[in-house]
Structure 1
Amino acid sequence: MKKFFFIINANNAKAIHTFNQLKKVMDEEEISYRTFYTEYSGHATEIAKKITYINKDDIKAVIAVGGDGTIHEVLNGMQENQSIPLGFISGGSGNDIVRVLTKDVKGLKKQLLYLKRNRIVKTDSGNIQLVGRSNKIQSFISAIGIGLDGEVAKSTNEAAYKKYLHKLKLGSLAYVFTLFKVLKFYVPDSMEVKIDGQEYGFNKVWLVAVGNMPYYGGGMKICPSAKSNDGILDVCVVHDLSLFKLLLLFISVFWGGHVNVQGVSQYKGKEIEVVTRRSVAIHADGEYKGTTPVRIKVQPGTVSVKI
């Protein structure tokens, strides 16, 4: 009999609490499952890679219990077994991936129905490679952030207050707090963005976002028209804005209103390369990955997702 394989972020109190409640119901319903708890950063990738290799024929779905970072790690562990469905039970601070693909299933009743129904769809993912420094290619499913938001993601994941906000169920505020902290020292710089062979140059760039989905950072609708199944990545470049105008822009990004502001340029493409004068931070699905230059490429219909 096939089983659900749960990978739970053990450093996330909300994720553990959510799964412990679900576990009781699954036992009552005699649902077959196995559990694995992460112990350190990157562990979910190692677990996913191992269980999908050893138990490939016994897996009904691999369910990530945590936030976008946990999903990102599990996704990368399943690169060689992408036919196995990937599912989610949200328990993080951002939950942007869950917001798009499963409409954030909350409550035991809905979570149980989610597990019982057999709906699988194919969605796109993307590849990210640090140019000239590594042959390793990693996957992302939501978005890439380069520049200010890459630095915010890096600092947020390192911040002690993120854990406290998690406990208060205010995890998404961690990104807001970190943004204002990073803005004290961040200086925009010039960047070159190549999209499907076409080169664009920008001055005073705050950030470049490459989206397979509209959201990141806990509900910020950075690429409003991005769709996870169209074989295209959306690109948003924020440039030539004063700090004051950037802060006004930040308010409107939660409903996508920033796209109408001068200094926000949007594009679509399948292959994107970003080169900067000085190295700037990069995040993928909210996880810090390194610094520019970087090459990004869409992978159409590569992920089987349980919805």
Structure 2
Amino acid sequence: MKFHFHLLINQASGSGRGQKVGDKIITLLQENQFEHTLYYTEYAGHEQEIIRQLVNTETLQAWDPQNPALTADQPFPLLMVIGGDGTLHQVLNELYHLSVDYPVSYIPGGSGNDFARGIGLSRQPEKAFWQIVKAQEPTKINTLFYNEEIKAEKGVVINNVGIGLDAAIVNATNTSFAKKELNKYNLGSLAYISSILKVLFTQKGFPILVEVNGTEHSFKKAFLCTTTNHPYFGGGVAIAPMAKADKNNIDLVVIERIAMFKIFWLIIKLIRKTHTNSKYYHHFNSSKLRIVSTIPQYGQADGEVMGERPFDITFTTRPQMIWYKKE
């Protein structure tokens, strides 16, 4: 199958990794004489503008295997996103708000790259590229759709939405002066570690209500509340090892606030992947669920901070076509 690749490249993602990955893919395209057009993001929110431009000019096409243009061996215009999970998050949300359903391909170029882990896409750029080229059709992947009633917000999530600990860590890292300085030397992960240690000691337990399949579950001292599409968050931490991105369901993990020495023991269990046996670890699975948090907490969606606020948020599932061949 022939392609005309439309590359949307976020060079700043992953402390500059996006640029390096983009250069590698461009070299591959040139060496193999693939038709391609380049689009570089230059500032926050530029992804949405580029997508609107491609949609408004009808540059992209919806996938239809019966399309006579495909049988005539015409190149299919395939959007290829190169950047971090946040870049892909912005792209898919813009497509959702524009009410269009295009298949998207993705080359991970961020720091965490949890989505690639979750769907079986290589985190090595060249291997991911050939997984895309070898595919003859897109693969249907599950994503999460959320509707937050208090702020009247709706959106698509490829990885997870967190309320509490993980969101507070993301916020602390993003607002850290040290992160900007360390990123200059590709040491941004040190700022993340510093934020983890800081938030672990300051994050308090908070009450939440979880509604699953018509049954309510209340927690007086939740510490971490993560609704996820696949096992990973935080750059490869398997918080929900039972979750699968190719299944039409939602996994929710709630961890209760416990004494500090027990938290460190729970972290050790997490590293050993035995944390699901802890009595402080609670797992729920459904095609629809609701979370209510009345006391303001930080929230994050795919690493994008949602602010410190109360939440009344409902999750359902939403299919998304990703162009790649799982290996």
| TM-score, with structure 1 as normaliser | 0.89
Task: Report the equivalent of 1:28.
Answer: 31
Give the deviation of 1:114 after TM superposition: 2.8
Q: RMSD over aligned Cα, in angstroms?
A: 2.4
CA contact (8 A) 1:84 1:304 kept: yes
Task: Report the equivalent of 1:6.
Answer: 7
Give the deviation of 1:236 after TM superposition: 0.8
Task: Report the equivalent of 1:239.
Answer: 256
Corresponding residue pairs, total: 304
Instruction: Report which stretch shifted further, 148-157 or 212-221.
Output: 148-157
Give the deviation of 1:140 after TM superposition: 0.3
CA contact (8 A) 1:281 1:288 kept: yes
Instruction: Report which stretch shifted further, 249-258 or 268-277.
Output: 249-258
Task: Report the equivalent of 1:120.
Answer: 138
**1:295 counterpart (313, 320, 323):** 313
* 2:315 aligned partner, one-letter code: K
* 2:42 aligned partner, one-letter code: E
Task: Report the equivalent of 2:91.
Answer: 74
Give the deviation of 1:163 after TM superposition: 5.5
Structure 2 residue 186 is the aligned partner of structure 1 residue 182: no
1:234-291: CA deviation from partner (whole Å, max 9, x where unpaired): 1111014112212222233245321111111111122222222311111111211233
Structure 2 residue 19 is the aligned partner of structure 1 residue 16: yes
User: Could you tell me how far apart the structure 1 residues matched to 2:32 and 2:181 are?
Assistant: 34
SS class of match (1:181): helix
CA contact (8 A) 2:78 2:103 kept: yes
**1:84/1:234 Cα in 2 relative to 1: closer, same or farther (>3 Å)?**
same
CA contact (8 A) 1:14 1:167 kept: no
Task: Report the equivalent of 1:194.
Answer: 211
Structure 2 residue 156 is the aligned partner of structure 1 residue 156: no
1:70-114: CA deviation from partner (whole Å, max 9, x where unpaired): 111111122246642222211211100011224324153x24423
Structure 2 residue 230 is the aligned partner of structure 1 residue 227: no
Task: Report the equivalent of 1:91.
Answer: 109
CA contact (8 A) 1:223 1:256 kept: no
CA contact (8 A) 2:121 2:128 kept: no
* 2:277 aligned partner, one-letter code: N
**1:132 counterpart (134, 143, 150):** 150
**1:207/1:105 Cα in 2 relative to 1: closer, same or farther (>3 Å)?**
closer
1:133-189: CA deviation from partner (whole Å, max 9, x where unpaired): 22x311001111111111112222333444566666665554333211222422111
**1:86/1:98 Cα in 2 relative to 1: closer, same or farther (>3 Å)?**
same
SS class of match (1:190): strand
**1:218 counterpart (235, 245, 261):** 235
Task: Report the equivalent of 2:267.
Answer: 250
1:281-306: CA deviation from partner (whole Å, max 9, x where unpaired): 11111211233313232224x20012
User: Could you tell me how far apart the structure 1 residues matched to 2:110 and 2:184 are?
Assistant: 10
Structure 2 residue 60 is the aligned partner of structure 1 residue 56: yes
**1:164/1:255 Cα in 2 relative to 1: closer, same or farther (>3 Å)?**
farther
**1:60/1:117 Cα in 2 relative to 1: closer, same or farther (>3 Å)?**
farther
**1:264 counterpart (281, 291, 296):** 281
CA contact (8 A) 1:92 1:166 kept: no
Greater Rg by CA: 2
CA contact (8 A) 1:75 1:139 kept: yes
User: Could you tell me how far apart the structure 2 residues matched to 1:51 and 1:207 are?
Assistant: 39
Task: Report the equivalent of 2:46.
Answer: 43
CA contact (8 A) 1:216 1:286 kept: no
User: Could you tell me how far apart the structure 2 residues matched to 1:19 and 1:160 are?
Assistant: 28
1:205-227: CA deviation from partner (whole Å, max 9, x where unpaired): 10111111110111111111111
SS class of match (1:78): helix
